[in-house]
Chains A and B, each alone.
Chain A
């Protein structure tokens, strides 16, 4: 309304007239007169002579949104036409429109229930009946509280359940599933109505003749379960029968049903047919679902494999069967290759060449005891893991993972199978199995032969696979020192083959060393190639392989104090060097005969963090006394505090986010204060320009900083966002005032003022809940004066703004619990290379960019790469969504290629590459009400004009390039 009123003040008269016509009309007339839109529809429909025409009009009508007030009128017209219409396709469309209309937000569809049910009773066409039931479903879901209507609808559905058309029965079941009463009615009056046992009614359709109806029945039952009804155990046997249905969609739904029941009644006892034994229901269901892993349809297989993963209550005996296929050959029991490998290993002999008939079968199998197919869970995962479709394999791997996490003995067993999956033909599956192994690696210790197979994958040419494997090795436990040596050798091999893996390999060795100090200890002399008598040559300090070995040794030495005795002189020197240059990889060590650089044990660390947190708090509190200070003093105080906070952020990485955030906020305040300085505004007119330049620069900078505040930090609550917006509003006010002083004439000012008022309005709408915290602030005063502002002239407005700005107080900033600043580091290109990248001008060259991102939300859409050429040309490149990987919570990795091109240069020059964080105001955290009509794109114009921009958030890296002229 405010925006509208203000328009009346400022806009030319002709426009106002137009507006009035358009906006005033539908104001408060609901039932009495038909709104223009429905009237138009009515006319259209009356004009239509053939059903095709009518259909066309209806289709056109459906493209535009309908306001909540006029929905009812439209519905009446549609119904009126419905009764007259003879063509069923038009009736169908009308019925579907009714459903769509009743979903309009702000419209209560209870008034059209009667009509809809009436039409349903007189309808002959099955398709239209189905559509009408769909409409009823839409109405029913819109009115979740109204029990009476729901009961009525359920009754209608029950009546149509005997229809001959599958479509109608489908919809009835769907309706029953969505609206059937879940619990007993509370009020007395409802009890008089016959409560139908929805479960029983739906259950009767489990063996309908049409597979689609069977599916719908199961789905409706699942829907009931989702809505909180406790399903009866009796349907278990029915559901089990449906597992062998002819149709895949039925089987697929039945698998889900069986799973749901197994979760509801895990401990009940069910009999095994054809014997008089009994087992737990969850075990029985597990066996049955395992069986479905070898189903004919891959959709069912995927589902079965997925669901197996979530059956944690199953007994261990059954679980382990899934990995056992009970091999035999010529009726003799055979051991699997895994068992043989284990035996070889435990007998002390490792990696023998396989002989012919080495896998010769052993004892004879009793032919009567062998069960070829009906052995329940037997080998389900073995089948799943070698399935034809990779979707099934991935599902099986994931299921293995979740099951292994809950049972360590199972984890031990499934290890061999997971390791086998490292050889899968599809990279996705390989990657997934490596990730899974990492997740369960806490439960297991790798044997040497297993480690050997794992390490073989280090030579994979895919970078993702290698890095996943490094990540895995970080978390792996190994049993012997040979394992450590093996791992080191393989990692070094990897390093020589793929030098780009340097960082990842080092990090991996860091964890490996820290995890197994005692296993590394006996290897140290060999690793450092020291000799008891002779001095050995000093290794090259720049050799990545040597650094890798040192990283391993130093990290092991951290918890093994005796190790340092084995170091030679140069090792100590190298330690000092590495501790400085690669401090994230080399831990502080207590070395004999050296003074400790920074001994900070864990307790000291904790206390220092606490004290710095306190410091942060105190300095923020100190700032709040600012109101009582002189301008000069206040500025100084702010400057000091900003400096302190910045330094604190550097010292304490945990608090960097919070410290940076508050420092930036304070800087905004400081700038604002400077911009509003008393003497600035009192100077004589000729000096305006200079002062103005300074103040407007300040305003611009504040704006920039506020965007950083809003988008660069994650973990902000609405309160902080509101404060940031408030600062932005102040800066805009400042800009407005400055503008008013420089510009001549009222015309341009008019639009600026209007825009500003719009923004105030938007602020008020978005942060209504927060306004209580804004006592005594700029915006509060502004809102108080709002009626006056809307009425007054631009120049008056400027004056008011000026005084309010000056008088307004300083807002307290309360920090949220977790505040992180988004950061990005470009790992590659390193910017160290002196060799220019040469390419022919006019063609493109690909530059590999590898960067880590931290605390970036939605990097796929927000992170961009900027390339700045020496001539000032800047390009922004959008990386593909597939280029982002997510190695851990809050961390992302961008590995992409940037294409460069330029016209020819005479000599190599540097370009700058940096990462940008893109933001846009319109999709910021303030949620905009979306029009309910889903198809509408031309709905209400968004009031906020979206401001888009970018914030650089990484250091730029310089790369030498050299475009050469083309040779002719």
Chain B
């Protein structure tokens, strides 16, 4: 039986290091190739030796697909392609292709230049790797080779994020990457058509959460910023350079516009400027509002948001500053935080989750005195706020996507095992389909039952269609024909005569003959009449003829009557039918065996 195998090398019952191997219809595809943020040793990259024993990957993989530019989905790409060795095509969307190298370069700088690691990929490797990338458009079907094709769907989440359908013949798999079912200020919601894949591989970060309406959070955020600014306070928003930062920028920018506010908003420079440039370019990937209004004004051309300079932090008066990194553990955001923490008029808003041990986590848990390096203590008087802006689908969103795609089975990745368990149970219960959640290195196998397409000769089809009423598409229908399987050609269904002709064979007829003894005192002729009228009353749909040569024809079945030599009251019926009429012939025999009605006509 044909089957599809899915093996996560990363992100199986885990978040980070997404890397999933799929073998479908004899093709092997790698979905995402990410790194793990939690490790600094070999474990940070997927274990590619699982695929090959320390040789190049090219001959084992048909293609690699990257869903979006987050490092936990593309961080190991240069390592895989250049250091392990892969020369096949790598597919990603245009924005991902544009932004991905910026992030990879940044990642490399931090690891190599700051932490001083060796044996890491180089800038040149990133460049070489990007040369192997083939960019795809949304809803474009790309033919990887003769049989394998992939198609990208919009996924929300971040700019350029996509879900991919991988299809070989009639078998298909959909990989969602990370997606978001609720639109935000700059991106739309994920969408997929009813493609009915065999397996839907879905992320499940928020498998056990149903989120509140986004508007509440937005309103709260804006109100807090507005109040602080009106009081003359300064607002610090520590963010990571890409993704949420742009959403918050748009949110504040439009709010400033609407409310006619004058306080300056700053964004720390660096990565973001480059990235913002791409946001301006890829307007078609954003949401309805931005797409529709960009002719008048590109929303990413900020009017109120300006580049930040270190010296601005000491300026008097209200201001809002977006600074990196997001968890206040180092860099500019921490620097500004130290300056502003002492004033109770100021405020810091944490828009995302903070890892334990960072300054961000400490202040969020309510610590008022922080120990800094050099035995200094920092008193935190400023207000600390937490706002969750996440771009993953919640449990309801995941279910909604499953309902949209109508898969035959679901496979969960990118989430915690315990939470997955709950969602798995829900999916099985509500959609009545299989759900898998393999751990890393574990293989999930699904048996598929693909329908086999057969070419039918037009003449045969027309002949069959003419026989009865219009074929009902919901019901199977039998037909006579010959299936020809020749070497390496697709299957063909042709009329028997044609098949004979093609194969150079002559036709043989197969007839069944059967004798039935019937007790009937009448003469042969009358018996025949009785049989004729009897059959006529029983088989109403068939044509029954009484031929002059003393036989009865039912369709093509011949019935003859002869009296037995020894006993005249015993009549022997000779029933003969061809192989094609086997069904009717058999039925007739049993019917006649039951005897004739005792009515004399």
Please give the residue numbers on chain A whose beta carbons come within 8 Å of chain B beta carbons, in ascending order: 162, 164, 207, 209, 246, 294, 296, 325-331, 334, 336-338, 353-357, 367, 370-374, 379, 382, 385-390, 417, 420-421, 423-426, 453, 456, 459-462, 497
Q: Which of A356, A370, A453 contacts B365 (CB 8 A)?
A: A356
Contacts of B422 in A (CB 8 A): 331, 367
Rounded to whole Å, the gap between the CB of A764 and the closest CB of chain B is 55
Q: Which of A353, A356, A379, A420 contacts B216 (CB 8 A)?
A: A420
CB-based contact B258/A372 at 8 Å: no
Contacts of B287 in A (CB 8 A): 388
Interface hub of B210, B385, B419, B469 (most chain A Cβ within 10 A): B210
Q: Which of B216, B257, B403, B419 contacts A461 (CB 8 A)?
A: B257
Give 4 new A-B contacts, CB below 8 A, not counting A386-B213, A388-B288: A328-B208, A372-B399, A386-B214, A423-B222
- Contact string against A for B residues 325-363, beta-carbon threshold 8 Å, 1 for contact and 0 otherwise: 000000000000000000000000000000000000000
CB-based contact B396/A372 at 8 Å: yes
Chain A residue nearest to B250 (CB atoms) is: A425
- Contact string against A for B residues 382-393, beta-carbon threshold 8 Å, 1 for contact and 0 otherwise: 011110000000
Listed by A's residue number, 25 A-B pairs whose Cβ atoms lie within 8 Å are A162-B470, A164-B470, A209-B473, A328-B208, A328-B209, A328-B210, A329-B208, A330-B208, A334-B212, A336-B212, A337-B213, A355-B386, A367-B422, A372-B210, A372-B399, A372-B426, A387-B183, A388-B188, A421-B215, A423-B219, A423-B222, A425-B254, A456-B223, A461-B257, A462-B258
CB-based contact A327/B210 at 8 Å: yes
Rounded to whole Å, the gap between the CB of B441 and the closest CB of chain A is 27
CB-based contact B430/A373 at 8 Å: yes
Give complex CA distance A338, B260 in Å. Answer: 28
Contacts of B384 in A (CB 8 A): 356
Rounded to whole Å, the gap between the CB of A930 and the closest CB of chain B is 38
Interface hub of B215, B366, B422 (most chain A Cβ within 10 A): B215
Give complex CA distance A497, B386 in Å. Answer: 31
B425 at the interface (CB under 8 A from A): yes
> A interface, by DSSP: helix, strand, loop or mixed?
loop
Q: Which of B194, B385, B419 contacts A246 (CB 8 A)?
A: B194
- Contact string against A for B residues 187-228, beta-carbon threshold 8 Å, 1 for contact and 0 otherwise: 011011110000000000000111111111111101100100
- Sorted nearest first, the 9 A-B pairs with minimum C-beta distance are A388-B183, A420-B215, A337-B216, A356-B364, A209-B473, A373-B399, A459-B259, A461-B260, A331-B208
B182 at the interface (CB under 8 A from A): yes
**B interface, how many residues as a size bin?**
35 or more
Give complex CA distance A336, B226 in Å. Answer: 23
Q: Which of A336, A426, A461 contacts B259 (CB 8 A)?
A: A461
CB-based contact B386/A460 at 8 Å: no
Give complex CA distance A459, B229 in Å. Answer: 14
CB-based contact B192/A367 at 8 Å: no
Known A367-B422, A390-B289; judge A294-B400 contact (CB<8 A). yes
Known A330-B419, A374-B430; judge A337-B220 contact (CB<8 A). yes
Q: Which of B219, B289, B385 contacts A353 (CB 8 A)?
A: B385
Q: How many A-B contacts if CB must be within 8 Å?
A: 123
CB-based contact A423/B208 at 8 Å: no
Give complex CA distance A425, B399 in Å. Answer: 27
Give complex CA distance A426, B292 in Å. Answer: 11
Give complex CA distance A294, B419 in Å. Answer: 24
Chain A residue nearest to B215 (CB atoms) is: A420
Q: Which of B193, B215, B469, B470 contacts A423 (CB 8 A)?
A: B215
Rounded to whole Å, the gap between the CB of A372 and the closest CB of chain B is 5
Chain A residue nearest to B383 (CB atoms) is: A353
Contacts of A417 in B (CB 8 A): 213, 215
Q: Which of A164, A371, A426, A456 contacts B430 (CB 8 A)?
A: A371
Give complex CA distance A400, B289 in Å. Answer: 23
CB-based contact B210/A325 at 8 Å: yes
CB-based contact B430/A460 at 8 Å: no
Contacts of A338 in B (CB 8 A): 216
B474 at the interface (CB under 8 A from A): yes
Contacts of B260 in A (CB 8 A): 459, 461, 497
B185 at the interface (CB under 8 A from A): yes
CB-based contact A325/B396 at 8 Å: yes
Q: Which of A334, A387, A426, A461 contacts B289 (CB 8 A)?
A: A426
Chain B residue nearest to A358 (CB atoms) is: B386
CB-based contact B289/A425 at 8 Å: yes
Give complex CA distance A367, B193 in Å. Answer: 30
Q: Which of B382-425 contact A (CB under 8 A)?
A: 383-386, 395-396, 399-400, 403-404, 419, 422, 425
Give complex CA distance A376, B364 in Å. Answer: 38
CB-based contact A385/B366 at 8 Å: no
CB-based contact A372/B288 at 8 Å: no
CB-based contact A356/B396 at 8 Å: no
CB-based contact A390/B288 at 8 Å: yes
Give complex CA distance A926, B191 in Å. Answer: 54
Rounded to whole Å, the gap between the CB of A528 and the closest CB of chain B is 27
Rounded to whole Å, the gap between the CB of A54 and the closest CB of chain B is 33
Contacts of B419 in A (CB 8 A): 330-331
Contacts of B364 in A (CB 8 A): 356
Give complex CA distance A922, B160 in Å. Answer: 58
CB-based contact A296/B404 at 8 Å: yes
Contacts of B185 in A (CB 8 A): 425
Give complex CA distance A460, B192 in Å. Answer: 37
CB-based contact B193/A326 at 8 Å: no
Give complex CA distance A684, B260 in Å. Answer: 77
Chain B residue nearest to A295 (CB atoms) is: B404
Contacts of A356 in B (CB 8 A): 364-366, 384, 386
Contacts of A456 in B (CB 8 A): 223, 226
Rounded to whole Å, the gap between the CB of B52 and the closest CB of chain A is 40
CB-based contact A453/B219 at 8 Å: yes
CB-based contact A336/B210 at 8 Å: no
Contacts of A382 in B (CB 8 A): 213
